[in-house]
Each structure stands twice: as C-alpha cells, then as structure tokens.
C-alpha cells in the first residue's frame, strides 16, 4: 500500500476541485473495493477524496418523470430495503441482495458499486502481468486460469468480467447515470456507462477521472409484475456470479409485449442485446421463445478453456430466468432453492 | 448424593468470554515497548534466481529501520538438521532469505522493518526484485510420471503395509470390479488468524516470543537451533491460537523473520502475514488416487488395490497416511497399497485436519459406492458385509471399535431405510434428491505429556502443561478433568497452557491432545490428591483416619467417605492441618507400550448425507448430514459436537468448494484471497446432526479418551459425492464438485 493524502470536501464543488488538482486522486466512498485494491498495490492513488460527507447524495427521491433517483451515496442495503424500490423495482432490490454480504452491503455505495473493478485473479496480483492493471503487459488469463472470465465481448487484450449484480439489474431497467464534472453535469445511459475492453482494457467505464457520479435514475417502468434476478455461483451466498440473469417482462395475455434481459458474469459489462429482446415481442411466453432469445443473446459466445461451461450455463440460466419472470415467481434471495 | 462430574457433561468454553471480549491475546496482539514492524516481500516466480534486489527506495522511506534480504541477512545455523522442527518431513527445510535461489512462487524474498506497520507495508511495495527464471513444474498431472516412493519415511507416518495375499490375481478373477481414479485439489489453510509472530526483546539476550503455533516447544526448539540460542533465553508464549488445524504445526517463515530481525536490531519486532501470503505455505497436497476393488457377486471383497500420488516440494518429502485406510476399513484377504510422491516447484505441503485420511477415504468410499451400485447391494449393507473385526493391516485386535453401532444409529436417525436404491429415483419439485453414506476412520493416539497441578490454601487449583488450544476446547476439558479430581467447581480451576516454561507437551495435533494432556493433568491432580489426603488423614479428629484413598470421594471442596458422605473434611482445612500453603506435583502420562504393541486404536464414523440438485443449473444444496462418531469417552459433548460439526463443514468445503487454482505457466496459485478461494458460508450449511456412539476404551489412554479433532472431516466428502451420484447418476471423482462438473454430461472418463 502506498502513501496518500486525504481530503474530505464539504460539498460537490469542493470534491470536483480536489479531484481536478491531482490526476492520481481517487474518490473513496465505502472503500470496500478501493481499499482492498490499495492493499494489493493494484490501485496506488496519491490522494483520496472522501465523498461520504457530501450533502444531498444519500437520498432516494421521486423524479419528475415518475421514476426514482438514487443518490450516489445511498448504501446497497438502503436500496435493498427501500419500500418504494421493493414495490416498483423489485428486480433491483433482488439483485442487490444477491450480492456480497450484509456487512459489505451496509458499507457499499451506489456509485462505488458501479465502479467496482473486475475480480480477475491476475488483475489482483501485482506480481503477474495484466493489461488492465498495466497496459501492454499482457493478459495471462487468456490460456491461464479463467474459470470466472468472460465469454462475450472480449478482446485479445482482456477477457475480464464486470462483477456487479446491481448493475445487471440497472442495465435491464435502463437506468441513467448522472455525473458531474468540471464542465457541468451530464447523463449517461446505462448501456453506455460500462465499456468493452477492446484496445483499452484499463478503462472500465466512460466516466472521466475528474467526474463524479451523483445519482442513478430509474425510469418509471419497473417490471414489478414479471421479473427475476437469477444468480448462479460457486456457493450459495457471498460469491460473485458465474452467470447471472436479470429478466423483466411485460406480458399481454400469454404473449410477451416487452422484454429486457441482462446477463452478469459473462462480459466486461452487463450484457444486453436489444435485437434479442425485440425479437421476443409478440411471442408466446414459453420455452421455445425463451430458447430463441438465449440463442441470440449468446451468439458469438466464446469460452477460453476453464470457462467454456459458462456458455451452456448462461443458456440454461436465461431459460430458467425467463420462465421465472413469466410465471411471476421471481427467484428468492434468501431461500437458496432455485425456483 | 455425589454431584454429577463435569467430565461427560456439556460445559461451555471456559475461555469463551475472553475470546468474544477481545481479552484473549493472540500472537500479533501482545504489546512491547519500542515494537518495530516487519512486512514480508513475496517473490513472483516459481523457480530460478534473484539477480538483484534494489532496496534503495524502501530504505529511503522515513521510519524504515532495515530491509533484510539474502544479501545482508545475519548468519544462521549451517546444517539442515538445525532447521528441522519436530514435525519436519525428511529433506532440507526451507530457509527464508537463505540465498538467491527461488524455490516456489510467493517465497519471501525480503523483510522490511519499520517503526510502524503502515510504513513497513508501504516500503515493502517499493522493493524491486530482478529474477532469472528457470523452468518450473507445478502440474501434478505431468509430474506424476516421475513419482517415487519416498526413500526416507516421515516420523510418525506409517508407510503402506506390506501386501497381503495376491491382489492382482484376485482382482483379475473377481466377478465384480471397480477401477477408477479419484483426485483432490490443492487446498490452503485459512484460519481466521493470519500467521504472526511478536518477538519481545527482553534485554540481556533474552527473548519472549508470541507465535502462532500449535506447540510452543516446537517454536522454541527451532529458534534455539537456528539462531544458536539457549532455551533459558527463549520463552515462547502463545496462550491462544485463532485456528490452525495443521498450519501451525511447523514454525512458519514469519517466525524466522521476526526473530532474525529482533536479534539483528536488538529490539522487539512483529511480523504479521497478509491473507494473500497465507497462500504461500501450508496446503493440503493435491493427490491422485487409483483404486481397484474386486468382489464376489454377493459383494464380498476379494481384492483391494489403492495407489496414491501426493504432491510435495523439491526440498522435502512431505508424507501422509493416504492409502493405509483401504487395508483397514474392510475385511479383505488380498490387499496391495502404494504411496508415492511427485515433486513440484511449490512450498512443502502441510498437515491439514486429518492429513491424508480424507483424501484416501474419499477414494475408497467412493469406490465402495460404485461397487454397491454394480453389485446391486445397498451401500450400507455392503459395508456391514465386509466389516473388519480386526486391524488386518497389522493383524491386531482393536482397543475398541463401535463402527457397527455407528452405522446403525446413524442410519436410524437419517432414515436410511427409506432410501430408494436407484439413482435419480428420488425427487422433490424440481430437485433431484440423493442420499449417500461413507465411513470415516482416524488414528486414536496418546503421546507422552507432562503436567503440573498446584492446589493452594485459598481453595484454588492451577493446572499447567505446555500444550496449545487451537480452538478445540482444550482449556475447557482440562478444567473439567481437574475440577472433578477435587470435586471443585470449574471456576476454581485455572488452566495454563501455551507457554514453553510449562511442563513438556508435544504439539497439539493428531487428535491426541485430549487423551494426552487430559491424562497428564489427571495424573498430576491425583498426585496432589494423595498428598492432600495424607494431610486430611493426619488432621486432628479426622473422620478419614482409617480410610484409604479408594474409599473417599472429593465432593464440593471436601474429602468425604464414599460410604458415608456426611463424614469428611474440607480441602482447605486438610491443608491447614498439614501446614501446607500449597501442594504441587508434576506428573508425566505415557501411553501404555504393551497395549500399543498388542492393539490398534482408531476412531470411526458413519456419515450420511442428503443433497438436492437442480440438475439443469448445476445448483446443489447439502440439506442434511448425520454423522455418528465412535471415539471413546466424550469429555464434553458440547465442545465435542462443535469439533465434529467443524470437521463436517470443512468436509463440505472439500467436497464442493475448496480448490487453490494454479496457473501452471506462471507456476503460481492465483485465487489467493477469501473472495475467490471458497469455504462454506452459512447459506451452504443446513442440518448437521452429530451422534456420539457409546464406546468403552480402556487401552488408548488412561482416561478412556480416543480424541475427535479430526474424525469429523474424514469421509464427509465421500458421503456427499455418493449422495450426488444417487441424486443424479453422475459419478464425479474430482474434488471439489463444482457446478461446472455437475453440468458435464455423464461420466465421460477423463482421458489422460
Ligand atoms: C468479499 C467481497 C464480495 C463481494 N461480493 C459481491 C457480489 O457478490 N456482488 C456484487 O455486486 N458486489 C460484490 N462485492 C463488491 C461490492 O459490491 C463493492 O465493493 C461495492 O459496491 C463498492 O462500493 P464502495 O462504496 O465501497 O466503493 P469504493 O471501494 O469506495 O470505491 C470503488 C470505486 O468507485 C469510485 N467511486 C466511489 N464513489 C464514487 C462516486 N460517487 N463517483 C465517482 N467515483 C466513485 C472509487 O474511486 C473507486 O474507484 C463484493 C466485495 C467484496 C469485498
Ligand atoms: S483478463 Fe483483463 S484483467 Fe484479467 S489478466 Fe487479462 S487483462 Fe488483466
């Protein structure tokens, strides 16, 4: 762990000033990811700008459009147990509860969850090469230990996944990330927030170093009737997803009016394919339609050895998740039996 | 009425309060004036040499006292034997910072010592090491070609017995045959408490050392030998150990580094390892088992062959008892067992809870399940049919063996008779239900141990021996035994352990501590009792005047006539009468050599497991485990139950989760943190029902105890794997059984 200085600005403008002063500075919120990475010498920030006391970022509020605005400092626990979210966006609450442990969720913030970094073993081990940690050093996960790695949207430079559960639900719900920077505020649609690795695996998102996340906005449609978050992992709790599926449906009789499907654990970002979702529209809510959607979503999926199983697993998980959503029997995050 | 004894009753831990309030001090928590802090720099390659270490930047950090490397470390003992600790296997023990040679990935290459731990950690990240890499091998599947029979046996580890009968011929002729290969992945020790040492510089060349160790005398001996110190000058004090189960048997490298730095700097030094450094030593060796069973059509075993290959390092032949169990658990006339090692560029493996047994027993008990399947016989019936009445490896009777009762009681509790035989025949909702069973076996041993008992005129009793309590409940059972000796409440007893200045005790391992330390404490208490009784008889007007020790009882702080408990004399009164302020005796308890020659002694268990599998998704739940344990006398059903539950949960981890993943190109373990190295969490653990089977054993130890720290893990993985087969029809022979293996199509045999 390196030496760093610490600042705790009193307001947003102060936070932006602090971060702009030093290109090596980083925001710190719950610290559940950043501090670990600092201990492993993966992140070596010269200055920590503590955002936890910034006013106005810790509330969940109604938006004019009829959605909800979740402040960047709202804890994962607060999201999971908020009555409005539970009623209108149960998919989100479920995904949050599927992640980490109660202690971590208490500390973890909304902004930090979006920006948590991959769990790739090599990324965490500064004694090994890694393009994401040290651009140009190589990607030992390709041909190495890659059981937890991506099967979609990879590049020859990186096959890491984004590990968040919450973000998979946010992707399915088409949330919008609100950010503030030196040039003012901007809104980033969720699908454009996380990147694919391409030639620059060191960049996880489209956020700039000197920008801060202020909130995540949920549009009015929450798919409260027909949704599920299905997470498959190596133990029944407290493990990152090997594959997860956030499924949200709007049904019209026995037919699908609208569908959203986002996959976790399979790519550098929550994986969506609007064509696959569009193709479901008008189809009967039954296995055959779900199978077609799975085929489309996983077209081009490629294993790297240890993670070959994820292709088959993702397919099965999509089928199950869509049938859970269609039946209105979402996966419970406390009873570990899969519905 | 005589009071009910403490021994045999469920008593809460006497150290429980100290532990939950933080009053109990662990190795890294002892304060010392002027304490300096060391942080270890870990190496990056698996084999080769260090060509340069640049410590300039680290040394320049204010607060850094010294950066030790192989280039500047102080001299230590030259000969290998000086570095060999009590439980070292044959070979050349690893010497930290010895020279430029790299023997395994993660090896310590420097120690940064600074005024505070933050500075040390920061400076450690500035040390630059250049290597010249050599060709390495960490893949057991390749190295198995060069496996060899270890030329020198490890002390305390029995090599496989000589073959009996003709297993090859009997196998060839057997109407039923099972032949398969079973593998268990590398597993790393991950006790809650990371390994740590605090060396207190007492001045005048004297050191007090707080080490995470399962035997303070082992650390003391190691330090004295390596650094040429005398035992008078080195005291090791480790009253509490935050879990160890084998990782703390051998002194680990942080002990060496902390003592080295303290001696060089002439001040107190603490070295605490990080969680990722916990993956740079102390692992259960990856092991490959080949098992062949031959049986008659009715399931009677005709032949057993079991050959295992365990991984070891290039510098030590770490050995465990892996295959011997296969010649022991069942009656069979034709048995051939073999055990080999294969060298890898890794650190030497270490003992991990029941070293060897869960590996070999997983293979044997899986194979027995396969045989039951082939023979169309219920797996429990198959085991009863082939029940071994004697130890056929050694041709000896058992001191006791109630495994038959364990099978019966376990089966009743579990409801085994309701099992439908065919795989895939039980289902509830979406889930396939599977029931499996396995046997467990572990050595019952006693080791020579000394203890002291001191009774003082204030009615307090202190008992002391150098042994350790790694969380198993040693403090508590010793307090129970001592309290019973005098009819005192447990609160009147102080137990002191974990201090090298106390009477001699072996390391806490092998499940022998309760039997050994317990017998020693009882012997010392009995010696005190004799002296006390003499005083009591001599007291004026003593009602015990004509009695002898066999005719009195110690009840409620009094010595009374057994036949007439109203007549007696108080302990304190007796001491006063004898003019004694304190009565102190030290005694040594030793195993009975004649019994050891004549008898074999083992603990046994029968484990029943229920799993539920969502086959489409590979999601598995272990919904019930019943384990019936026959382990002689149970001193404290409460702490004993905890021990067995802990073993069962660990067995679940072995079956389903634990695996240190190696990148063989880098020669490095990669999932070195607790987020990616999985052990069971609460959600994974459902009902665990522990049954203690009545078992009288007067030959293993004077107090009837056979020990049960380890038996809980043995066989658990096999019971779960067998239940998975019953649920799904899939026989998975590679542990851990992860989701991807459950999804694989039926048992396409591994091609290798
Ligand atoms: C053992 C373990 C298991 C876990 N399991 C799961 C799991 O199963 N599923 C899951 O989804 N997650 C899991 N997590 C991850 C956890 O959810 C994240 O660590 C957490 O959400 C991060 O939030 P934080 O507030 O602590 O972020 P921090 O660690 O404080 O920050 C993370 C990053 O976000 C940046 N940042 C924080 N806030 C802002 C802001 N407002 N604007 C701009 N940048 C910001 C920081 O600079 C930093 O780069 C696990 C974590 C651990 C340690
Ligand atoms: S997959 Fe990405 S994060 Fe992992 S080693 Fe390769 S480049 Fe680094």
Residue of A nearest to B736 (CA): A234
Instruction: Identify the CA nearest to B476 among candidates B6, B4, B8, B14.
Output: B14
User: Which of A1, A121, A338 faces B676 most closely, judged by CB atoms?
Assistant: A121
Residue B625 contacts residue B687 (beta carbons within 8 Å):
yes
Is B292 part of any domain? no
Residue B57 near chain A (CB below 8 Å): no
Say whether A170 sits in a helix, a strand or coil: helix
pLDDT digits (tens, 9 = 90+) for A199-215: 999 999 999 999 999 99
Q: Same domain for B465 and B435?
A: no
Q: Is A165 near ligand 1, meaning CB less than 6 Å away?
A: yes
Interface test with B, best of A234, A307, A336 (most B CBs within 10 A): A234
User: Which of B121, B661, B684 faces A145 most closely, judged by CB atoms?
Assistant: B661
Is B319 part of any domain? no
Chain A residue numbers with beta carbons less than 8 Å from the beta carbon of B739 are 232, 234, 242, 309, 313
State the residue for tokens 């397919």: A315
Provide mean pLDDT across the span B732-748: 85
Is B751 part of any domain? no
Q: Same domain for B424 and B410?
A: yes
Tell me the pLDDT band of B510, cut-offs 50, 70 and 90: confident
pLDDT digits (tens, 9 = 90+) for B112-151: 999 999 999 999 999 999 999 999 999 999 999 999 999 9
Is B40 part of any domain? yes
Interface test with B, best of A102, A318, A337 (most B CBs within 10 A): A337
| CA atoms lying within 13 Å on the CB side of residue B650 | 28
- Residue B165 in tokens: 């009968």
Q: Same domain for B89 and B202?
A: yes
Q: Say which of B584, B710, B744, B749 is annotated catalytic.
A: B710
Tell me the pLDDT band of B2, cut-offs 50, 70 and 90: low
Residues with Cβ within 8 Å of residue B523, at least 6 apart in sequence: B451, B587, B588, B589, B702
Mark yes or no for CB contact B42/A127 under 8 Å: yes
Q: Same domain for B603 and B627?
A: yes
The residue from B239, B254, B279 where one domain ends is B279
State the residue for tokens 């009015």: A220
Q: What are phi and psi of A235, to 5 degrees?
A: -145, 170
Provide mean pLDDT across the span A73-92: 98
Q: Same domain for B415 and B500?
A: no
- pLDDT score at B57: 98
Residue B470 contacts residue B212 (beta carbons within 8 Å):
no
Residue B615 near chain A (CB below 8 Å): no
- Residue B588 in tokens: 């040594």
pLDDT digits (tens, 9 = 90+) for B661-688: 999 999 999 999 999 999 999 999 999 9
Q: Closest approach of chain A CAs to the CA of B571, in angstroms?
A: 52
pLDDT digits (tens, 9 = 90+) for B558-597: 999 999 999 999 999 999 999 999 999 999 999 999 999 9
Tell me the pLDDT band of B545, cut-offs 50, 70 and 90: confident
Q: How far is CA B5 from CA B124, B461, B477, B514, B555, in A?
A: 55, 17, 12, 17, 10
> How many percent of chain B have pLDDT more than 70?
99
pLDDT digits (tens, 9 = 90+) for A236-282: 999 999 999 999 999 999 999 999 999 999 999 999 999 999 999 99
- pLDDT score at A218: 98
Q: Same domain for B433 and B480?
A: no
Question: Rounded to an integer, what distance in angstroms lies between the CA atom of residue B56 and that of residue B59?
Answer: 5
Residues with CB under 6 A from ligand 2: A 118, 120, 122-123, 130-132, 139-141, 158-160, 201
Mark yes or no for CB contact A1/B682 under 8 Å: no
Mark yes or no for CB contact A237/B681 under 8 Å: yes
Q: What are phi and psi of B286, to 5 degrees?
A: -55, 135
Q: Is A31 near ligand 1, meaning CB less than 6 Å away?
A: yes
Q: Same domain for B431 and B454?
A: no
The ipTM is 0.97
Radius of gyration of chain B (CA): 27
Q: Where are the alpha helices (DSSP H) in A228-301?
A: 274-280, 287-298
User: Which of A144, A232, A337 faces B663 most closely, judged by CB atoms?
Assistant: A144
- Residue A280 in tokens: 């479901």
pLDDT digits (tens, 9 = 90+) for B46-98: 999 999 999 999 999 999 999 999 999 999 999 999 999 999 999 999 999 99
Asked if residue A316 has pLDDT above 50, the reply is: yes
Is B366 part of any domain? yes
Q: Same domain for B515 and B618?
A: no
Q: Is A164 near ligand 1, meaning CB less than 6 Å away?
A: yes
Residue B192 contacts residue B679 (beta carbons within 8 Å):
no
Q: Where are the alpha helices (DSSP H) in B325-458?
A: 357-375, 379-385, 403-414
Residue B676 near chain A (CB below 8 Å): yes
Q: Are strands B108-114 and B64-68 parallel, antiparallel or unpaired?
A: antiparallel
The residue from B590, B617, B648 where one domain ends is B590
Angle between helices B716-728 and B637-656 (to 10 degrees): 50
In ligand 1, which atom is closest to the CA atom of A43?
Answer: 49
Is B496 part of any domain? yes
- Residue B457 in tokens: 């005129």
Instruction: Identify the CA nearest to B20 among candidates B12, B32, B10.
Output: B12
pLDDT digits (tens, 9 = 90+) for B370-402: 999 999 999 999 999 999 999 999 999 999 999
Residue B192 near chain A (CB below 8 Å): no
* Cα A107 to averaged position of ligand 1 atoms, centre (Å): 9
Residue of B nearest to A37 (CA): B673
**Cis check: omega of the bond before B736, within 30 degrees of 0:** yes
Q: Give CA angle at B45 (B44, B46), nearest 5°.
A: 135
Residue of B nearest to A321 (CA): B617
Residue B534 near chain A (CB below 8 Å): no
- Known catalytic membership, residue B370: no
Say whether A256 sits in a helix, a strand or coil: strand
Is B393 part of any domain? yes
Q: Same domain for B49 and B131?
A: yes
Look up the CATH number of the domain holding residue B69.
3.90.1170.50
Q: Which numbered ligand comes closest to the C-alpha of A200? A: 2
**pLDDT: which is higher, A131 or B205:** A131
- pLDDT score at B586: 98
Asked if residue B740 has pLDDT above 80, the reply is: yes
Chain B residue numbers with beta carbons less than 8 Å from the beta carbon of A317 are 617
Provide mean pLDDT across the span B188-215: 96
Q: Same domain for B561 and B612?
A: no
pLDDT digits (tens, 9 = 90+) for A119-175: 999 999 999 999 999 999 999 999 999 999 999 999 999 999 999 999 999 999 999
Say whether B409 sits in a helix, a strand or coil: helix
pLDDT digits (tens, 9 = 90+) for B452-486: 999 999 999 999 999 999 999 999 999 999 999 99
How many CB atoms within 10 Å of residue B489? 14
Is B249 part of any domain? yes
Say which DSSP state B525 is in: H
> How many percent of chain A have pLDDT more than 90?
99
Q: Same domain for B472 and B547?
A: yes
Number of domains present in the structure of chain B: 3
Which residue ranges form the domains of chain A, and what is each CATH number? 5-53 (3.30.43.10), 226-327 (3.30.390.50)
- pLDDT score at A336: 86
- pLDDT score at B752: 33
Residues with Cβ within 8 Å of residue B261, at least 6 apart in sequence: B36, B38, B66, B68, B111, B113, B199, B269, B271
Question: Rounded to an integer, what distance in angstroms lies between the CA atom of residue A321 and that of residue A291?
Answer: 11
Residue B207 contacts residue B269 (beta carbons within 8 Å):
no
- pLDDT score at B1: 41
pTM of the model: 0.97
Look up the CATH number of the domain holding residue B471.
3.30.365.10
The residue from B230, B245, B279 where one domain ends is B279
Residue-range definition of the domain harbouring residue B257: 36-135+189-279
- pLDDT score at B745: 64
Question: Rounded to an integer, what distance in angstroms lies between the CA atom of residue B360 and that of residue B254?
Answer: 32
* Cα A34 to averaged position of ligand 1 atoms, centre (Å): 7
Asked if residue B4 has pLDDT above 90, the reply is: no
* Cα A307 to averaged position of ligand 2 atoms, centre (Å): 14
Residue of A nearest to B739 (CA): A234
Q: Same domain for B539 and B625?
A: no
Interface residues of chain A, partner chain B, Cβ below 8 Å:
1-3, 39-41, 119, 121-122, 124-125, 127-128, 140, 143-145, 147-148, 232, 234-240, 242, 309, 312-313, 316-317, 320, 336-339
Q: Give CA angle at A167 (A163, A173), nearest 5°.
A: 150
């Amino acid at each position: 762990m390196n030496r760093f200085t610490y600042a705790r600005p009193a307001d947003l403008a102060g936070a932006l000033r602090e971060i702009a002063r030093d290109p090596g500075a980083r925001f710190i919120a719950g610290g559940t990811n950043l501090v670990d990475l600092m201990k492993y010498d993966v992140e070596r920030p010269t200055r920590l700008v503590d955002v936890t006391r910034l006013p106005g970022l810790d509330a969940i509020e109604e938006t004019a459009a009829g959605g909800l605005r979740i402040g960047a400092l709202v804890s994962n626990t607060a999201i999971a147990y908020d009555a409005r979210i539970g009623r209108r966006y149960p998919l989100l609450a479920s995904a949050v509860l599927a992640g980490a442990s109660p202690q971590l969720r208490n500390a973890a913030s909304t902004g930090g969850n979006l920006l948590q970094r991959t769990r790739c073993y090599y990324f965490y081990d500064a004694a090994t090469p890694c393009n994401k940690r040290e651009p140009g050093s190589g990607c030992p996960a390709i041909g190495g230990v890659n059981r937890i790695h991506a099967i979609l949207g990879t590049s020859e430079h990186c096959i890491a996944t984004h590990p968040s559960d919450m973000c998979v639900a946010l992707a399915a719900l088409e949330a919008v990330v609100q950010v503030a920077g030196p040039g003012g505020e901007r809104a980033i649609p969720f699908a454009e927030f996380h990147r694919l690795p391409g030639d620059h695996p060191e960049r996880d998102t489209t956020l700039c170093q000197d920008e801060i996340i202020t909130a995540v906005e949920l549009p009015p449609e929450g798919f409260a009737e027909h949704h599920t978050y299905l997470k498959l992992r190596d133990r029944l709790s407290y493990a990152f997803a090997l594959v997860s599926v956030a499924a949200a449906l709007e049904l019209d009789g026995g037919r699908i009016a609208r569908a959203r499907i986002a996959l976790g654990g399979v790519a550098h970002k929550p994986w969506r394919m609007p064509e696959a979702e569009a193709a479901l529209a008008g189809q009967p809510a039954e296995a055959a339609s779900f199978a077609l959607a799975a085929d489309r979503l996983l077209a081009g999926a490629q294993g790297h050895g240890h993670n070959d199983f994820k292709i088959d697993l993702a397919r099965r998980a999509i089928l199950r998740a869509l049938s859970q959503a269609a039946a209105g029997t979402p996966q419970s995050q406390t009873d570990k039996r899969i519905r | 009425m005589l009071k009910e004894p403490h021994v045999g009753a469920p008593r809460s831990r006497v150290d429980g309060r100290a532990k939950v309030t933080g009053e109990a001090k662990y190795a890294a928590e002892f304060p010392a004036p002027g304490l300096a802090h060391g942080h270890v720099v870990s190496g990056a390659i698996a084999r080769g040499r260090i060509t340069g270490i640049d410590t300039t930047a680290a040394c320049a950090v204010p607060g850094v006292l010294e950066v030790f490397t192989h280039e500047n470390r102080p001299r230590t003992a030259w000969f290998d034997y000086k570095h060999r600790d009590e439980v070292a296997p044959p070979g050349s023990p690893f010497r930290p910072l010895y020279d430029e040679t790299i023997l395994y990935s993660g090896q310590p290459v420097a120690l940064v010592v600074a005024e505070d731990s933050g500075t040390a950690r920061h400076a450690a990240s500035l040390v630059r090491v250049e290597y010249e890499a050599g060709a390495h091998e960490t893949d057991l599947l390749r190295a198995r070609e060069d496996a060899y029979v270890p030329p020198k046996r490890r002390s305390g580890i029995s090599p496989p017995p000589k073959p009996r009968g003709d297993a090859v011929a009997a196998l060839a002729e057997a109407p039923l045959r099972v032949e398969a290969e079973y593998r268990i992945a590398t597993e790393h020790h991950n006790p809650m408490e990371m390994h740590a040492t605090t060396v207190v510089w007492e001045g005048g060349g004297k050191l007090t050392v707080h080490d995470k160790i399962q035997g303070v005398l082992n650390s003391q001996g190691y330090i004295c030998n390596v650094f040429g110190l005398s035992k008078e000058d080195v005291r090791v004090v480790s009253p509490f150990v935050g879990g160890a189960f084998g990782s703390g048997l051998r002194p680990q490298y942080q002990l060496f580094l902390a003592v080295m730095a303290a001696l060089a700097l002439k001040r107190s030094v603490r070295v605490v390892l990080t969680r990722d450094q916990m993956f740079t030593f102390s692992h259960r060796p990856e092991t490959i088992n080949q098992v062949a069973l031959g049986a008659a059509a009715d399931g009677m075993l005709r032949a057993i062959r079991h050959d295992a290959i365990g991984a070891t390092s290039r510098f030590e032949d770490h050995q465990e008892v892996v295959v011997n169990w296969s010649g022991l658990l069942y009656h069979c006339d034709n048995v051939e067992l073999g055990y080999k090692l294969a060298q890898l560029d890794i650190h030497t493996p270490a003992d991990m809870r029941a070293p060897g047994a869960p590996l070999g027993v997983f293979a044997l008990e899986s194979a027995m399940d396969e045989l039951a399947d082939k023979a169309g016989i219920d797996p429990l019936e198959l085991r009863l049919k082939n029940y071994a009445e004697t130890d056929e490896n050694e041709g000896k009777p058992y001191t006791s063996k109630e495994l038959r009762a364990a099978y019966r009681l376990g089966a009743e509790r579990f409801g085994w008779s309701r099992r439908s035989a065919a795989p895939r025949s039980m289902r509830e909702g979406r889930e396939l239900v599977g029931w499996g069973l396995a046997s467990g076996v572990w050595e019952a041993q006693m080791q020579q141990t000394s203890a002291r008992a001191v009774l003082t005129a204030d009615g307090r009793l202190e008992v002391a021996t150098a042994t350790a309590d790694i969380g198993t409940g040693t403090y508590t059972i010793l307090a129970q035994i001592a309290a019973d000796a005098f009819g005192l409440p447990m609160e009147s007893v102080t137990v002191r352990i974990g201090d090298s200045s106390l009477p001699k005790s072996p390391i806490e391992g092998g499940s022998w501590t309760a039997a050994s330390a317990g017998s020693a404490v009882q012997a010392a208490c009995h010696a005190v009792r004799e002296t006390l009784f003499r005083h009591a008889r001599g007291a004026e007007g003593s009602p015990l005047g004509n009695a002898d020790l066999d005719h009195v009882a110690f009840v409620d702080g009094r010595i009374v006539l057994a036949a007439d408990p109203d007549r007696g004399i108080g302990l304190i009164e007796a001491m006063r009468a004898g003019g004694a302020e304190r009565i102190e005796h030290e005694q040594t308890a030793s195993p009975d050599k004649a019994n050891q020659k004549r008898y074999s002694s083992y603990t046994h268990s029968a484990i029943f497991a229920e799993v539920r599998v969502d086959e489409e998704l590979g999601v598995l739940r272990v919904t019930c485990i019943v384990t019936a344990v026959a382990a002689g006398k149970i001193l404290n059903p409460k702490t004993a139950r905890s021990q067995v539950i802990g073993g069962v949960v660990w067995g679940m981890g072995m079956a389903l989760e634990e695996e240190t993943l190696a990148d063989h190109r880098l020669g490095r373990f990669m999932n070195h943190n607790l987020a990616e190295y999985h052990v069971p969490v609460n959600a994974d653990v459902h009902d665990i029902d522990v049954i203690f089977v009545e078992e009288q054993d007067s030959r293993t130890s004077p107090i009837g105890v056979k020990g049960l720290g380890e038996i809980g893990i043995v066989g658990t993985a096999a019971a779960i794997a067998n239940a998975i087969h019953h649920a799904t029809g899939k026989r998975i022979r590679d542990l851990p059984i992860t989701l991807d293996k459950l999804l694989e199509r039926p048992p396409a045999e591994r091609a290798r």
